[in-house]
């Protein structure tokens, strides 16, 4: 297959190599599709959703039988409540990860542009919106957790990022809804997101740290009263890269202006910890998830350069694209040797990386 040459102001050789890298990755991805249409395992619809998202950037791929088989399979998994998830055979925290799976799948269906997918997007929006924590006396108020069932007092930064991203990017679908439109509570979500940040001016939590290592950064989840950690001692939770960029993006999806002190302080953290060699704060864990979020965040902000704490000018787009191209394996895939967060799965990681490259090459459009 071929792919049109895309790119912002990048060295021509890098543009060519990056586009070749995308083509090789997409070609490999096609070989991994099950005859029923899904990628990876059927119990995790989000993997197929991520593959559809990666394929949607190519006009040729969008018109392919493989793309439409994947979209058809996602539609076939829709549940009566509007969600896309499979309940596991054993009870465990997170259940079917309904928020994550549904959010990813509804974005994939929306990006497919298929008219027959629109009712499923609208049903999924209603499902995701209903999962927002509404208990105002809870530390989870305004956030999103794994599932609707049995987790009513739990929310975290990752699930909240997926939920608000999915709701924001499919918002135009509401123009087709008959009756009252559906949305999430952006003010409450922004309040929850703020509680995940090391920022004493907006989050006076006892766990907040103001040292250079953490100030302005975001963490994943703050256990209420440390119950979930089984300790009476106050726990200091460190900030790290993927959640900090997820925090920035989530606030933007909640219509918080980029000049807001919370976003400015998060970018201050980013300038002090800029790297594409690891997920800053946690090393190799969730590395490709981090690169995926980083590409979306930087392309959304669309500043040509990032100024590091020492005044160094960082050509972030070029640096990121070069790193992603260099990490591709000979067979066209990407894979993390650290299997935390399923990143030993080349289908998942290749989908993450293809989307990141495509966003960077298309200048965030």
Residue 153: pLDDT band by 50, 70, 90 thresholds?
A: confident
How does pLDDT run across 288-333, given as a tens digit for each residue?
999 999 999 999 986 777 887 788 888 999 999 999 999 999 999 9
d(C-alpha 267, C-alpha 99), whole Å: 27
The pLDDT of residue 165 is 98
Q: Taking 80 as the threshold, does the pLDDT of residue 227 lie above it?
A: no
What is the Cα Rg of the chain in Å? Answer: 20
Q: Which of 54-68, 83-97, 159-173, 243-257 has the lowest mean pLDDT?
A: 83-97
The pTM of the full predicted model, rounded to 2 decimals, is 0.92
Residue 314 has a CB neighbour count (10 Å cut-off) of: 15
Q: Taking 80 as the threshold, does the pLDDT of residue 223 lie above it?
A: no
Percent of the chain past pLDDT 70, that is, above it, reads: 89
Q: Which of 29-33, 142-146, 192-196, 230-234 has the lowest mean pLDDT?
A: 230-234
Residue 362: pLDDT band by 50, 70, 90 thresholds?
A: confident
The pLDDT of residue 149 is 52
Sign of CA dihedral 134, 198, 250, 357: negative
The pLDDT of residue 7 is 41
Residue 341 has a CB neighbour count (10 Å cut-off) of: 18
How does pLDDT run across 114-130, given as a tens digit for each residue?
999 999 999 999 999 99
The pLDDT of residue 193 is 97
Percent of the chain past pLDDT 90, that is, above it, reads: 76
d(C-alpha 88, C-alpha 157), whole Å: 23
The pLDDT of residue 88 is 55
The pLDDT of residue 138 is 86
The pLDDT of residue 104 is 98
Assigned token pair, 107: 């974005």
- Quick one: 234 exposed, middle or buried, by C-beta within 10 A (0-12, 13-18, 19+)? exposed
Residue 103 has a CB neighbour count (10 Å cut-off) of: 31
Q: Across residues 100-112, what is the average pLDDT?
A: 97
Cβ-based neighbours of 70, under 8 Å, separated by 6 or more: 33, 37, 38, 39, 48, 51, 52, 55
d(C-alpha 335, C-alpha 35), whole Å: 23
Task: Output the average pLDDT for the chain.
Answer: 89
Give start and end residues of each alpha helix (H) in the chain: 12-30, 45-55, 59-62, 65-76, 98-112, 118-130, 157-169, 186-194, 241-253, 261-272, 287-301, 316-327, 346-361
d(C-alpha 275, C-alpha 245), whole Å: 13
Assigned token pair, 337: 């040797």
If we measure between CA atoms, which residue out of 197, 359, 333, 362 comes closest to residue 265?
A: 197
Give the H/E segment covering residue 307: strand 306-307
The pLDDT of residue 86 is 82
d(C-alpha 241, C-alpha 304), whole Å: 20
24 vs 153, more confident: 24
d(C-alpha 29, C-alpha 39), whole Å: 9
- The length of the chain in residues reads 365
């Amino acid at each position: 297959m071929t792919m049109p040459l895309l790119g912002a102001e990048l060295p021509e050789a890098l543009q060519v190599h990056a586009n070749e890298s995308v083509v090789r990755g997409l070609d490999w991805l096609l070989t991994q599709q099950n005859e029923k249409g899904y990628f990876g395992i059927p119990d995790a619809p989000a993997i197929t959703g991520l593959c559809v998202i990666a394929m949607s950037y190519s006009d040729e791929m969008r018109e392919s039988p493989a793309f439409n088989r994947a979209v058809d399979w996602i539609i076939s998994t829709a549940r009566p409540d509007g969600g896309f998830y499979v309940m596991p055979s054993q009870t465990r925290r997170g259940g079917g990860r309904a928020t994550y799976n549904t959010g990813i799948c509804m974005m994939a269906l929306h990006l497919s542009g298929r008219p027959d997918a629109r009712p499923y997007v609208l049903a999924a929006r209603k499902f995701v919106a209903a999962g927002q924590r509404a208990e105002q006396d809870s530390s989870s108020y305004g956030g999103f957790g794994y599932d609707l069932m049995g987790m009513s007092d739990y929310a975290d930064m990752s699930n909240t990022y997926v939920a608000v991203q999915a709701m924001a990017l499919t918002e135009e679908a509401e123009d087709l809804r008959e009756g009252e439109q559906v949305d999430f509570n952006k003010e409450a979500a922004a309040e929850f997101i703020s509680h995940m940040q090391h920022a004493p001016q907006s989050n006076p939590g006892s766990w907040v740290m103001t040292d250079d290592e953490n100030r302005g950064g975001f963490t994943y989840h703050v256990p209420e009263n440390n119950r979930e950690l089984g300790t009476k001692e106050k726990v200091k939770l460190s900030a790290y890269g993927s959640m900090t960029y997820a925090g920035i993006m989530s606030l933007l999806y909640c219509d918080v202006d980029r000049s807001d002190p919370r976003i400015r302080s998060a970018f201050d953290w980013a300038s002090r910890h800029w790297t594409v060699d690891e997920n800053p704060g946690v090393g190799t864990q969730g590395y490709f998830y981090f690169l995926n979020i980083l590409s979306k965040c930087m392309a959304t902000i669309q500043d040509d350069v990032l100024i590091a704490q020492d005044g160094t000018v960082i050509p972030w787009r070029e640096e990121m694209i070069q790193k992603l191209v260099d990490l591709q394996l000979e067979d066209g895939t990407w894979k993390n040797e650290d299997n935390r967060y399923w990143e030993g799965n080349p289908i998942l990681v290749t989908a993450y990386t293809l989307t990141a490259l495509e966003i960077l090459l298309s200048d965030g459009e």
